[in-house]
Amino acid sequence: MRANDPSSKVFYKGNSDDFIVFVDDPAALKNWKNDRSIPLSDVVNGFKIFVTHRHGSQGVLDGASNASLDNEFGTHNIDDCIVKILERGTFQTYTQTEHQADTNMTNGPAFR
């Protein structure tokens, strides 16, 4: 995926921290909410939960620890936590801007 391609995530504002799960396809998420026979692997982009340390949906992403999952959801089972985040969280799409940086600073400035 390129940096300027649109991405989708579900943001969950918890009592102790903010959690994010990335989603492959918004339509798959909608279908999953109506039909739980659809496997989670068709909905989420990897079985990884991120925390933003109470910095909202735009904060620095770190992997959620078992302790933070236990505190918020009462379990650290990844599947159960992802289901709760998908059910209670808010769906968001975003597009990151393309990076415009020098690749090799030892060559001097890129623009003269």
Across the range 100-105, mean pLDDT stands at 60
Decide which of 3 and 91 is more confident: 91
Question: Residue 39 pLDDT > 60, yes or no?
Answer: yes
Q: Please, where are the H alpha helices in the chain?
A: 26-34, 66-73, 78-88
Domains and CATH numbers, the chain: 8-93 (3.30.1250.10)
Q: Which residues contact 38 (CB under 8 A, 6 or more apart)?
A: 28, 31, 32
Q: Does 1 have pLDDT greater than 50? A: no
Burial class (CB in 10 A: 0-12, 13-18, 19+), 108: exposed
pLDDT digits (tens, 9 = 90+) for 50-72: 998 877 777 788 899 999 999 99
The whole-model pTM stands at: 0.76
Residues 50, 18: Cα–Cα separation, whole Å? 8
Choose between 54 and 40: higher pLDDT. Answer: 40
pLDDT for the residue 74: 93
